[in-house]
Structure 1
Amino acid sequence: MKRFLSCVFSLLVIGGAGVQTTTGTETVPAYVPKQSDRPAPMEGDEPGFEAIFDGKSLTGWAGDLTYWRVEAGTMIGEITEQTRLKSNTFILWQGGRPKDFELRLEFRITESGNSGINYRSSVVPDKVTPTNAFAMRGYQFDLDGKNRYTGSNYEEKGRLFLGVRGSVSRVVGTRPPIVIGRIGEDAELAKVITPGWNSVHLIARGNTLTHMLNGQVMCVVIDDDTAGPAQDGQIGMQVHTGPPMKVEYRNIRLKTF
């Protein structure tokens, strides 16, 4: 018992302002809130984020290689005139089915492009293209090159638009989603999106789903539908039916809770 207590006291130093923790040879003071403190921007990622794309290969991902490849550190989804689709297809992360998490990444998309980041999603049969083994159903952080929908919350093969850019919406399942608050005006929020690389930050915690782009909240959905929402599921990136297009993803990081 004495040895156990000695170990405990070697890790904790009781100070007048709180408990200090020892990491290696450095003692980190406990945080004590002050009236003068205010939330401040953070540089880089918070602790706990891990890369789920190595930037070199599609190791850990599964999709139709007709449409997906890796070049210069980016995951590329591309449709050409020769490879047009009749139904949407995805590349799926194989590392788990996150429930509560944060996902951060960067994307770039051509003007004619249509894509999305699916989460809490599942692979489903594709009635239009039965050979498509990578069709998904679930929540989606919507992306498109013309930025009509970028940042919205769209449930692929499910309840469709759950939240649109600029809104805080509640989903109950017995009627269309209702807007309960505003983040901003759609046209003004669209100005945040660049024609080059953009940064996505997606937070799924319980039934609250927050879509952020380039540091701006775009859409919040509170999903109170007891029958509709999945509690966990796979992450996948989409290439969409339509004209030739290209979408690129890089620096994909995940933090789970």
Structure 2
Amino acid sequence: MTDKMKFKAIQAAMMLVLFFISSCAVTAQNQKKDKEGFVKLFDGKTLKGWEGDPTYWRIEDGNLVGEITPSTLLKTNSFIVWQGGQPADFELKVDCRITATGNSGINYRSERLPDVPYALRGYQADIDGRNRYTGQNYEERGRTTLAYRGQKVVVNGADAPGPLQASIKSNAWTKTDVTSALGTAEELQSKIKSEDWNEIHLVVKGNRLQHYVNGVLMSDVTDNDTANRKMSGLLGVQVHVGPPMKVEYRNMRLKQL
């Protein structure tokens, strides 16, 4: 095969890849909306439109399931990522159920890490089986905890340029102002069901990020850190390093604002 023929073959392959990506995006945009303007993000039968490690992710009984077994323990957190776009302003609603030892989360406005497979960096609506963190705002591989459950917070930038770690203490971003309380941690925790289905509702608009669980506002972040915040990005869900666990997601719906 001549160099010219090789070039044409590579060019044709690249065109096919671009066509496939474009088709996926168009398909997601043209999905039928419900009466509230939401579209479903998975069909309940296959992982079509999502990319993740099949060792950990599958469809079971119509639900998106992430599971870690004794033989598949993780060394780094692993995500399955929606391939339908990079939402900016949106609402997301999904039901989630997680085992007592489980740790998961919904990442949004995130980016892939080039050197770690199936890893995301970005905002996360935290979810865990013991409900210690469920509802808080945690930035995966970034500024860490931005708001604990029960906090309305303004996030500020660091005082001077430098590594993020300089402004992180006890796994939390120190450049924040808590402007009000949404309720005590205990009161809010009582609204979350253990090892049962809970509805997660994210309202993300501009630099304001609100996490609801079962209709109750759990954390409310206004991110004024222009150097580190993200205004759009990938959407994905997580299985976390730790003991064997299982997390299930169903009725995942997105409305772009």
Tell me the TM-score normalised to structure 2 length. Answer: 0.79
Higher helix share: 2
Select the residue among 127, 141, 144 that pairs with 2:128: 144
**Partner Cα separation in structure 1 for residue 107 and residue 48 of structure 2:** 19
Partner secondary structure for residue 201 of structure 1 = strand
Matched, 1:78 2:77: no
- Output the amino acid matched with 1:98: P
1:188 equivalent in structure 2: 187
In the aligned structure 2, how far is the partner of 1:109 from the partner of 1:235?
A: 19
How far 1:176 moved relative to its partner? 2.3
Q: CA deviation at 1:125?
A: 3.4
Q: Does 1:201 align with 2:201?
A: yes
**Which residue pairs with 1:20 in the alignment?**
none
Can you list the C-alpha shifts for 1:92-146, whole angstroms capped at 9, x where unaligned?
A: 00000000000000000000000000000011135xxxxx421000000000001
Q: How does 1:43-122 map to 2 (within 5 A)?
A: 47-122=36-111
The equivalent of 2:7 in structure 1 is none
Secondary structure of the residue aligned to 1:121 is strand
Q: After superposition, where does 1:243-254 map in structure 2 within 5 Å?
A: 243-254=243-254
Determine the C-alpha separation between the residues in 2 that align with 1:112 and 1:92: 23
The alignment partner of 1:189 has SS state of helix
Which amino acid is 2:193 matched to?
Answer: T
Counterpart secondary structure, 1:82: coil
Aligned length: 208
Q: Structure 2 unaligned runs (5+)? A: 1-33, 159-173
Matching of residue 179 in structure 1 with residue 168 in structure 2: no
Residues in 1 aligned to 2:249 and 2:62: alpha-carbon distance in whole angstroms: 9
The residue that corresponds to 2:18 in the other structure is none
Amino acid in the other structure paired with 1:180: T
Report Cα offsets for 1:6-61 as digits up to 9, x if no partner.
Answer: xxxxxxxxxxxxxxxxxxxxxxxxxxxxxxxxxxxxxxx76210101111110000
Q: Equivalents in 2 of 1:154, 1:180: separation in Å?
A: 18
Q: Percent identity, please.
A: 55
* 1:28 alignment counterpart: none
Q: Does 1:222 align with 2:211?
A: no
Name the stretch that deviates more: 172-181 or 203-212. 172-181
Shift >6 Å, 4+ stretches: none
TM-score normalised to structure 1 length: 0.79
* Aligned-residue CA RMSD (Å): 1.0
Partner SS state of residue 92, structure 2 = strand
